[in-house]
Amino acid sequence: MATAAHAGHRLERRYARLGVFLIAPTIVVFSLVIVYPLLAAIYLSFFSVYTPTLEGEFTGADNYIRLLTNAAFWNSLITTLIWTVGTLSLQIVFGVGMALLLHQNLWFRSLARSLVLFPYFVSTVVAVLVWRWLFNDLYGAINHGLMQLGIMDMPLDWLGTMPNAMIGVILVGAWKYFPFVVIAVLARLQTIPEHLYEAAKIDGAGPIARFFDVTLPQLRSVLVVIILLRAIWDFKEFDLIYLLTGGGPVTSTQTLSLLVYQEAFALNEMGQAAAYSIGMMLVMLVFMLVYIRRTAREA
């Protein structure tokens, strides 16, 4: 008995060692691509660094004091929040709506299910170029169409004035990323047992009551995960906004990612940029903590 227990103990230790050995490569790669850049950014944020030469001098907390006292960071944070909340809301509304539609027995369902993924798969550069052409104030299809329909009589400068530029960015963002919501919600919809709907029908629930009493509660867990993930991704979105408006007009659509980029590569202030990105990371940490707590609870 004693020897058997001892042998079992030894086996357990051997498994533990094997476990460490198996996750070691992940830890090494993770350290190289995540931990090192993070530490480097924190280090850089205490210097005043000239980007082209990466030379600079230690300035202590100056960069952080400027972050807190200058309006640039806070304005950008507000812009980022407007963009994130705006585009995410549209993604969820259109995503859930489209998923419900594609869950119905339509004759073109499988074709539509593949087509709906198109915006998500198309390269951001290509998508943005097409949208910029659509939004163009002189020869854009949107102005042309709206004027033909008689909704406007003057062409509108979509990306060059506010709030049009923000609305444009939010719309393109929603168009680009709502398919992600569709896929996740559609997958969940297909696992909702048909019996729940039938029971609800017999219990006297109409279509709207069935949506709120059966569908929505069943979608809750997946929606929480989607909203948190998309919030994190939208919060740090760069290429779409950079390509569409470049942060303009002036800084009206300059989100934090764009601010960091501008500071680092246009103003050549790598130290200040690092401080901004640390600030941005701290904001994102809030999302991440919520996400981790949520997923831990679901598990």
Partner 1 sequence: MAEVVLKDIRKEFGTFVALERLNVAINAGEFVALLGPSGCGKSTTLRMLAGLDFPTAGEISIDGRVVNDVAPGKRDIAMVFQSYALYPHMTVAQNIAYPLKKRGVARPERDAAVAKTATLLQLEPLLNRKPRQLSGGQQQRVALGRALVREPKVFLLDEPLSNLDAKLRSYMRAELIELHRRIGKTMVYVTHDQLEAMTMADRIAVMHDGRLQQFDEPEIIYNQPANRFVAGFIGTPSMNQLEGAIAGSSFVINGEQVPINRALYEQALKDGPVVLGIRPENVSLSGGSLPATVRLVENAGHEQIVTVEIPGGHRLLAREASGQRPSVGQTCQIGFDADFIHLFQPGENGSRFETTGQAHVIPMQAQRSASDES
List contacts with partner 1 (CB under 8 A).
193, 195-196, 198-206, 209, 213-214, 217-218, 220
The dihedral built from the CA positions of residue 253, 41, 287 and 243, taken in this order, carries a sign that is positive
Q: Tokens 């809030």 correspond to what residue?
A: 286
Minimal distance in Å, beta carbon 212 to partner 1? Answer: 11
Is it true that the peptide bond before 52 is cis, omega within 30 degrees of 0? no
In the complex with partner 1, which residue's Cβ is closer, 109 or 220? 220
Minimal distance in Å, beta carbon 207 to partner 1? Answer: 11
In the complex with partner 1, which residue's Cβ is closer, 209 or 285? 209
With DSSP H G I counted as helix, E B as strand and the rest as coil, what are the percentages for the chain, rounded to 5? 75, 5, 20
Q: Is 104 helix (H, G, I), strand (E, B) or coil?
A: coil
Q: How far is CA 132 from the centre of its chain?
A: 21
CB 249 within 8 A of CB 75: no
In the complex with partner 1, which residue's Cβ is closer, 198 or 239? 198
Minimal distance in Å, beta carbon 194 to partner 1? Answer: 9
Q: Cα(26)–Cα(33) distance, rounded to whole angstroms?
A: 11
In the complex with partner 1, which residue's Cβ is closer, 159 or 200? 200
In the complex with partner 1, which residue's Cβ is closer, 196 or 284? 196
Q: Residues near 153 by Cβ (< 8 Å), separated by ≥ 6?
A: 147
CB 137 within 8 A of CB 160: yes
In the complex with partner 1, which residue's Cβ is closer, 146 or 205? 205
Minimal distance in Å, beta carbon 17 to partner 1? Answer: 38
Read off the DSSP letter of residue 161.
Answer: S
Minimal distance in Å, beta carbon 193 to partner 1? Answer: 7
